[in-house]
């Protein structure tokens, strides 16, 4: 039974890794080649929003992959709800190239369109962070899907960390309407920070 | 011999998982960025058919992945016909982004084009369901490719479940001509339902 | 040493499987959604060349995957030349969506363009078949990379089979200029036939 | 502890292999089907830059995959910095289809645009080579992440080899402004050479 459960989380991890690897590599398709005759260098510089969006999404999917693995070192059993919540997480991950495209196309325009593009991007990140939290909360609650129950302190710490991430991304939805560029910069910094300091408690 | 057979189904599973993961992630390429100056938010809302199609196809490929694994926990041996039938199943799975594109482009138009787009989508799902049934029927018939023969009751239950899924999808081909949106909604609800209640008998 | 070699072919197989799975799934991107107002069904039927190309390439990559695995059940060691020849095989496999696109765009036009499109497609298949043969010939020659030397009869049979496949594909380059559609039909039939009757001797 | 570390590098390798396999296969999307009526063959020949770019990028990602594996046969432990540096390497690998697209579009134009396109491509390769060196230097320094410390001679040899690769790619940035085509040819020859003669010392 235990080994079958183990195999079950192995399946989820392998499938999720596949989706993470494909989504992070597909991001390159959001980069458009400028169509100019002369002045290619300046045309590329003018397209900085698409490179900023590419870098940010790459860092975010990269850190999500790292954290997903950390999380599944603690989670050793699976059930239907976990499967469903993990699919929800993959949905928001696989969708990310779309709002990255919105940023690439509209961030340089400024105005309301830039704000809407960045707000949709921020909403996508927030939904991914919520799905991440739901996977974790479902897995540790009652200790059913983990090897040994977390101490109350570790459980509290983990919930604080997940909440902080979710709140920061939710805040960038609002910040998008003040300054889309600032919202994107905050998202990049948060992702880059988390590459060094993972959120899942098992790795602390 | 047994271990070579085991390895054989391991190969099929790994390759199939790859195709499922790639197809589910490629779906994002069906989402078009609207080309507007001002009014991006409304332009996105107007494109609801592409998001509805994305969500439905994501749920359907997700549940196909889950069921494929359930099925291959019961199937422990492989032969040429199984390999061929599984490739047929992967063909219809890998093709799904195309009719999803048709929906994204034509469902909002209404009229005959919307009906044809949704009918082609429904036909694709029906063909996938038939291929799924054929893999299963070939594997359990005579118990040649499974570890231990199913009880007649379990075999009957499995066939009933597969038939119901196939008939529902086939019915949506007709429903497409009455109401394309209703047909898509039914397909989404069926897929979401099956995430909780898998079709393969080994998981009951 | 033996286990390190074993791991070496495991790496090649996993990487090759990834390329096969991605190439076979990317084929769907060769399918264009027609841009019409009314008459979608006829527009889809008019685009039969893209569906014929899709099906044929899917069958061909599918059978290449099957044969690649059969071959690597016999090959148990690796060296630099094998690595290089296998990359050459993957090059022609990963390239296949491009001539499939040529067929989708030009086969319906008829005339010289249709012939050139189908001839380029045939040349791609021929080069893939040659790379396949080179991998096999390098591996079995002197028995260095296989577990036990093949009998002279088995070696002769394998070479005959590979040569037949290569010659058939090479012949379709010429047939393309007589009838592009007939050349494509031959390629589809050959691929469908080989799904049942694999070329690698280890599976006979 | 050791086995958990081992698993850790297994994760990195599997994820990296996924990105390499996807990036090498996505390259085919850089190939545009010419839009002509008559004269398809000449139109294809006119597009030689896109085929030259495709071949070069395919060879480069192929050799990077080979070297990455060689490197991770020596590296047996992982830490946060390694994870981060490896993500940096994957960033430049996954980005490569974009400058390959630039070459496909602008190399045939000649003039400054061709030089800029090839210089951006060369810069991407240089950054990938630097990331490769950083992964290696971090892993061997102090022998913390490898099974047994390298001899000073082996360490020196490895650094020489990495530096040569990095310097050659950096030099092609400058050469791009003299002759974009020559720069690309050098890059292809270097990659083809390294398929036979890997850079990582563990394989010497």
The ipTM value here is: 0.88
- The A-side interface with B (CB below 8 A) comprises 11, 14-15, 18-19, 22-23, 26, 29, 80, 83-84, 87, 90-91, 94-98, 101-102, 105-106, 109, 111-113, 116-117, 120
| pLDDT(D179) > 90 | yes
Chain A residue closest in CA terms to D81: A196
Q: What's the rounded mean pLDDT across residues D101-108?
A: 94
Number of Cβ within a 10 Å radius of residue C145: 20
Phi-psi region of D4 (alpha: psi -120 to 50; beta: other; left: phi over 0): alpha
Q: State residue C1's pLDDT score.
A: 37
Q: State residue A42's pLDDT score.
A: 95
Task: Write a three-state SS string for chain C.
Answer: CHHHHHHHHHHHHHHHHHHHHHHHHHHHHHCCCCCCCCCHHHHHHHCHHHHHHHHHHHHHHHHHHHHHHHHHHHECCCCHHHHHHHHHHHHHHHHCHHHHHHHHHHHHHCHHHHHHHHHHHHHHHHHHHHHHHHHHHHHHHHHCCECCCCCHHHHHHHHHHHHHHHHHHHHHHHHHHHCHHHHHHHHHHHHHHHHHCCCCHHHC
Work out the mean pLDDT of chain D and round it to a whole number.
87
Interchain CB distance below 8 Å, C37 and B113: yes
Interchain CB distance below 8 Å, D94 and A20: no
CA of D23 vs chain C CAs: smallest distance (Å): 10
Q: State residue A61's pLDDT score.
A: 95
Q: What's the rounded mean pLDDT across residues A189-197?
A: 77
Q: What share of chain A is helix, strand, coil (3-state, %, to 5)?
A: 85, 0, 15
Chain B hits for C35, CB-CB cut-off 8 Å, are 105
Chains linked to A by 3 or more Cβ pairs within 8 Å:
B, D
Reported as a pLDDT band with limits 50, 70 and 90, residue A147 is confident
Interchain CB distance below 8 Å, A196 and D80: yes
- Closest partner residue to A21 among D18, D97, D98, by Cβ? D18
- The B-side interface with C (CB below 8 A) comprises 11, 14-15, 18-19, 22-23, 26, 29, 80, 83-84, 87, 90-91, 94-98, 101-102, 105-106, 109, 111-113, 116-117, 120
Interchain CB distance below 8 Å, B25 and A29: no
Chain C hits for D198, CB-CB cut-off 8 Å, are 80
Q: What's the rounded mean pLDDT across residues C106-111?
A: 91
| pLDDT(B94) > 80 | yes
Chain A hits for B70, CB-CB cut-off 8 Å, are none
Chain A residue closest in CA terms to D84: A195
Lowest mean pLDDT among A15-19, A102-106, A190-194, C68-72: A190-194
Using the 8-state DSSP alphabet, how is residue B78 labeled? -
| A58 closest CA partner among D24, D131, D88, D124 | D88
Q: Note whether C166 and C129 are within 8 A (CB).
A: yes
- Closest partner residue to A94 among B28, B33, B36, by Cβ? B28
Number of Cβ within a 10 Å radius of residue A179: 14
Q: State residue C191's pLDDT score.
A: 85
Q: Note whether C59 and C20 are within 8 A (CB).
A: no
Q: Note whether C62 and C24 are within 8 A (CB).
A: yes
CA of D47 vs chain A CAs: smallest distance (Å): 16
- The C-side interface with B (CB below 8 A) comprises 17-18, 20-22, 24-29, 31, 33, 35-41, 44, 54-55, 58-59, 62, 65-66, 69, 195-196, 198
Residues 6+ apart with CB under 8 A from A145: A75, A76, A77, A78, A79, A82, A138, A139
Chains linked to C by 3 or more Cβ pairs within 8 Å:
B, D
Q: What's the rounded mean pLDDT across residues B96-114?
A: 94
Chain B hits for C203, CB-CB cut-off 8 Å, are none
Q: Which residue, among D64, D82, D98, D180, would best test binding to A if mutated, counting the most A CBs under 10 Å from its CB?
A: D98
Q: In the beta sheet, which residues pair with residue A75? A: A146
CA distances from C202 to A156, A196, B40, C27 (A): 58, 49, 59, 29
What's the start-to-end Cα distance of chain D, in Å? 29
Chain B hits for C41, CB-CB cut-off 8 Å, are 112, 116
Q: What's the rounded mean pLDDT across residues B108-136?
A: 94
Q: What's the rounded mean pLDDT across residues C187-194?
A: 85
Interchain CB distance below 8 Å, C27 and B94: yes
Interchain CB distance below 8 Å, D87 and A28: no
* Helix residue spans in B39-96 (DSSP H): 40-46, 48-74, 80-95
CA of D151 vs chain A CAs: smallest distance (Å): 31
CA of B142 vs chain A CAs: smallest distance (Å): 26
Q: Note whether C26 and A22 are within 8 A (CB).
A: no
Q: What's the rounded mean pLDDT across residues D137-161?
A: 80
| pLDDT(C7) > 60 | no
Q: State residue C199's pLDDT score.
A: 40
Q: State residue A97's pLDDT score.
A: 97
Q: What's the rounded mean pLDDT across residues D88-109?
A: 95
- Closest partner residue to B94 among C28, C37, C38, by Cβ? C28
Q: What's the rounded mean pLDDT across residues A111-136?
A: 95
Reported as a pLDDT band with limits 50, 70 and 90, residue A202 is very low
Interchain CB distance below 8 Å, C84 and D20: no
Reported as a pLDDT band with limits 50, 70 and 90, residue B144 is confident
Chain A hits for B62, CB-CB cut-off 8 Å, are 87, 90
Helix (H) or strand (E) holding D84, with range, is helix D80-95
Q: State residue A151's pLDDT score.
A: 80
| D125 closest CA partner among D69, D186, D201 | D186
| pLDDT(D2) > 60 | no
Q: Which residue, among A11, A25, A147, would best test binding to D if mutated, counting the most D CBs under 10 Å from its CB?
A: A25
Interchain CB distance below 8 Å, A80 and B38: no
- The CA distance from D25 to D19, in Å, is 10
Q: Which residue, among B13, B40, B65, B195, would best test binding to A if mutated, counting the most A CBs under 10 Å from its CB?
A: B40
Q: State residue C26's pLDDT score.
A: 95
| pLDDT(B2) > 70 | no
Which range has highest mean pLDDT (A54-63, C3-12, C72-81, D71-80)?
A54-63
CA of B169 vs chain A CAs: smallest distance (Å): 22
Q: What's the rounded mean pLDDT across residues C53-69?
A: 92
Question: How many pairs of residues across A and D have Cβ atoms under 8 Å apart?
Answer: 76
Handedness of CA A47, A53, A58, A63 (dihedral sign): positive
């Amino acid at each position: 039974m235990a080994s079958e459960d183990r195999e079950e989380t192995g399946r989820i991890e392998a499938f999720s890794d596949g989706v993470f690897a494909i989504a992070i590599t597909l991001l390159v398709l959001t980069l458009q080649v400028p169509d100019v005759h002369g002045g290619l260098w300046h045309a590329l510089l003018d397209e900085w929003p698409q490179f900023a969006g590419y870098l940010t999404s790459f860092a975010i999917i990269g850190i999500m992959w790292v954290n997903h693995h950390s999380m599944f070192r603690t989670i050793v059993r699976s059930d239907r709800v976990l499967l469903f919540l993990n699919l929800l997480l993959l949905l928001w991950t696989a969708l990310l190239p779309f709002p990255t495209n919105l940023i690439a196309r509209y961030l340089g325009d400024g105005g309301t369109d830039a704000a809407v593009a960045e707000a949709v991007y921020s909403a996508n990140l927030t939904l991914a962070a919520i799905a991440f939290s739901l996977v974790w909360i479902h897995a540790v609650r009652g200790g059913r899907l983990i090897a040994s129950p977390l101490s109350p302190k570790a459980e509290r710490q983990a919930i604080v960390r997940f909440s902080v991430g979710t709140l920061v991304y939710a805040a960038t939805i609002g910040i998008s309407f003040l300054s889309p560029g600032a919202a994107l910069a905050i998202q990049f910094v948060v992702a880059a920070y988390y590459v060094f300091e993972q959120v899942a408690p098992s790795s602390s």
